[in-house]
Amino acid sequence: MTIPNSEGFFPSECCLPRAPAEEKEIIMELIRSSEASIKEGDLYYLVSHRWWMEWQKYVGLDQSDDNSTEGIFCIPRRPGEIDNSNLLLNESVVEGNELDLKRSLQEGEDYSLVPQDAWKKLLEWYRGGPELPRKVISEGFITKKFNVEVYPLCLQLIDGRDKSQRTLNISRMASVRELYNMVCMLLELEKEKVCIWDYYNKTKHQFLNNYDQTLEEVQLLMDQEVLLEVQDDKLWPSNISMSSAGNELALVPLEPSRSSVTIAGGPMLSNSYSTGFRSNFLEGGNFSSSQRDTEDRDDVSNNGIKVDGQGLTGLHNLGNTCFMNSALQCLVHTPPLVDYFLQDYSEEINKENPLGMQGELAIVFGELLRKLWSSGRTSVAPRAFKAKLARFAPQFSGYNQHDSQELLAFLLDGLHEDLNRVRSKPYIEAKDADGRPDDEFAEECWQNHKARNDSIIVDVCQGQYKSTLVCPVCSKVSVTFDPFMYLSLPLPSSATRTITVTVFSGDGSSLPMPFTVTVPKNGCCKDLIQALSTASCLKHTEALVLAEVYGNRIYRYLENSFESLSNIKDEEHIVAYRLPIHHEKLLRLEILHRRAEGFLSEPRYSAHLKLLGTPLVTTLSMDSRTGADIHAAVLSVLAPLLRANAFTWPHGDKTSRDNGSGPSLDSIVLSDNGTQCSEETLSTSDMEVEEIHNSIPDIQLALADGKVISRSTADVDYNTVSVSRLKVVMNWSDREHEIYDFSFLEDLPEVFKSGFMSKKTRQEAVTLYSCLEAFIKEEPLGPDDMWYCPRCKEHRQATKKLDLWRLPDILVVHLKRFSYSRFMKNKLDTFVNFPVHNLDLSKYVGRRESASKSHVYELYAISNHYGGLGGGHYSAYAKLLEEDSWFHFDDSHVSPVNENEIKKSAAYVLFYQRVGVESKMDVRETGISPDSSNFKSKSELASNLIFVS
């Protein structure tokens, strides 16, 4: 039979639908085949995530409700045509034959990606569109990574002849040669007469003359301009040498370099080459042009006010790079790092470290820091740094928004490896404490770590914590001491939320009762169960099972105690069933209700009967679950609903049951976990059930005219059938409604009903100290993070406790505002009351350091995140210690800010410096005496590196 689509129209012959299972198998096999042989240049297609999820539900691929959703009466509809229109900015086609996508689309939220063969098959079955193909590119220098380039490079081509402008879409991994070919084909020009310039910020930066470089390597950015110049009367631009007109590599800029700094403090010559360290480092072609590595020479924009002080330079936003700018401003205002990178650090660059980036990350970071600390600048475009970042960390390539803390983690680790003073790391076998004192074992672990890791980053940013694991079975204790680069602290939100849950008795001992409890807003189901247990006076022999009721059936069980309460919405209906404490070992009986019709006794039941009321849940023992046991259990849970004037009977009296003193059992469906039965199943004959559900046992029972009519006996023994859940559908006639008060099963209260009298939950502040206490609190490991106990020889859910042992001079504190669950992502906007002065961590530190080592810290920088997931914005606050003043760094804009204004709920990463730490570097690290004439202030160091073109 042909099935209509969502609009009600029947598809044509060419796109007749296949069975859902067949569609699923075909598409999944095409996806597996494509992913197994993925290579650069393969095509993937964008498809609307909304449509893609509808298709997954239709074919049974959407498992978000697996083992928890009881959609036994819901058959997903076949989706209509593919509709990608919500992904498009407009329907116009730009040069490059691609439709323009909306910016900031998120994979998994706005779109999904399917390989070309799978897309063609879906298009054949469903039609629609439009087609949005994207190429697979290979990124990364150390580790190659395949990515789909959803947003190709968008360039604005300015024709120098008439100042006209065109938009070009081209892969950022395309070569300069391909750019020339595209332009020449578009404008019908001869390649030998064309000259293209990097025209960022309407300033000529670099003539694109190396055809073999990629556009990413030459640092072209999203939406930037490139300038086209065409040879006229055999005259080239005056600053281009044509000594070898036929050789593309002979086109060399003759203008002197205007770079403002050198790499690692080495001398810079006007011909873009240097002596000593720099020339040696460039051997091997890792840098194709010294001029390009010291880019941003003229990338200075005036934001209205000339800033002459060092360290007050903004950073251009290069396309969703506010996350990078925020992280960089915090790092370049870290006093020990400023001192270090303004000195000559060339001797410490480790080019041989296989875990590093051949020193390139340290060099480009040092160059950027020097620019930002040079006087006379207002803002800098960190294009060279962005290009290097994309090369070594492809996860940050492109122009999507990323996490500033993740970038900080990469930078600190990358800078450490590039500056590691250990050239050959010794092998050190990990040892156990063997009962030794903590002081002794911790010091041994630290020295072992320092034997392999010794850099400025380790010197100032790394600390050590103590980790204690205890086996819950044999009480084995395992203690380790591990280094840390930053602290990621949870936010123990004190903000609360009221949730209303209706509690049902599983043994018929009480009426349903709604309870409104107060729980942590960002708590989990375990918190809700504990609050309900107290409110309902739960017995020690009972347990609560949470479930969501939707459409008068159990939509899903909330049996994962660690599931976030944020997954429970205010408009939902949540119930709890009081069951025996070991209910997992019993047969769960679900009792659903629907209204009976006059022709109930007919062989075929009406398909339009609708469910009503709230399901009831009880349990049966595994050794006693006959048909009679099921009847007794149903009557038991219904007992509290009996009206006062109704006739009652002993539960075991079969005669009274035969006389029709209870609702009829229309059908009993045996189903194990994962079995789904549709409403059609419960309304058809045994033969149809057998055809649809592969002979799932179906026993039809009904009461009519006071007599029992059954297709099977009520005393069938189900002990031979292996199931864990049994569903019973009951038919309620007017007569049964007179006996039982069904109103208790209707009109479930919502989780939260807003109204005139409802009180808003107050967002209370938490302190940084309470975050620390939550960090060091003992708690069990998650079920997916089991610990292998060496004594039990098995994986155990051990308890874990962290303690601070050794603190660094620079303490980076990451507030875990972002949470990710199976069903959703969330951001916590909780205000954290963090101290600006005198953060005292004395009571949290286990190691007793020398008197010269203080445990008190002062705040000097903050990375802020505003807004939600995907669409937020980053900025930074940083303090100039020499001036004792705070400034706000919002991309290219820098402005002063009062200290009392920096404490906001947007604070994401906090930077503290130990009180008493000298800002000038240790003599051992630099070999330069602070008292010698060689030592210069930050202002002198930065200004002496400026070369005016």
The set of catalytic residues is: 322, 873
Q: How far apart are CA 577 and CA 916, in angstroms?
A: 60
**Beta pairing class for 194-198 and 206-207:** antiparallel
Task: Assess contact for 378 and 892: CB atoms under 8 A.
Answer: yes
Q: Helix or strand or coil: residue 618?
A: strand
Q: List Cα–Cα distances, 289 to 227, 281, 283, in angstroms.
A: 20, 12, 11
C-alpha span between 307 and 311 (Å, rounded): 9
3-state secondary structure of 650: coil
Give me the amino acid identity at 907.
A
Residues near 286 by beta carbon (within 8 Å), at least 6 away in sequence: 358, 360
Q: Is the dihedral of CA 526, 529, 534, 538 positive or negative?
A: negative
**Residue 589 contacts residue 617 (beta carbons within 8 Å):** yes
CA distance 493 to 761: 12
CA distance 619 to 949: 85
- Do 467 and 479 contact (CB within 8 A), yes or no? yes
Task: Give, in order, the Cα–Cα distances in Å from 274 to each of 254, 344, 361, 362, 945.
Answer: 17, 15, 19, 18, 14
Residues 6+ apart with CB under 8 A from 941: 342, 343, 373
CA 400, 401, 407, 410 dihedral sign is negative
Helices 404-418 and 360-372 cross at an angle (nearest 10°) of 110
Distance in angstroms (rounded) separating the CA atoms of residues 384 and 292: 7
Q: Which residue has the tokens 């936003």?
A: 317
Rounded to an integer, what distance in angstroms lies between the CA atom of residue 834 and that of residue 769?
8
By the 10 Å C-beta count (0-12 exposed, 13-18 middle, 19+ buried), 162 is classed as exposed
Among 902, 893, 830, 918, CA closest to 860: 902
Distance, in Å, from the CA atom of 77 to the CA atom of 321, rounded to the nearest integer, reads 42
Cβ atoms of 181 and 191 within 8 Å: the answer is yes
Most distant CA atoms of the chain, gap in Å: 112
Cα-Cα-Cα-Cα dihedral sign, residues 921, 926, 931, 937: negative
Would you tell me the crossing angle of helices 360-372 and 322-332 to the nearest 10 degrees? 80
In what helix (H) or strand (E) does residue 225 lie, and over which residues does it extend? Answer: strand 225-230
Between the alpha carbon of residue 92 and those of residues 45, 102, 364, 833, the distances in Å are: 18, 12, 39, 50
* Distance from the first to the final alpha carbon of the chain: 78
How many angstroms separate the Cα of 710 from the Cα of each of 23, 41, 682, 705, 706? 39, 65, 15, 13, 13
Nearest to 504 by CA among 551, 538, 552: 538
Taking a C-beta distance cutoff of 8 angstroms, is the pair 349, 417 a contact? no
Burial group, residue 22, by CB count within 10 angstroms (0-12, 13-18, 19+): exposed
Are 452 and 460 contacting, i.e. CB atoms less than 8 angstroms apart? no
The residue among 280, 255, 257 whose CA lies nearest residue 270 is 257
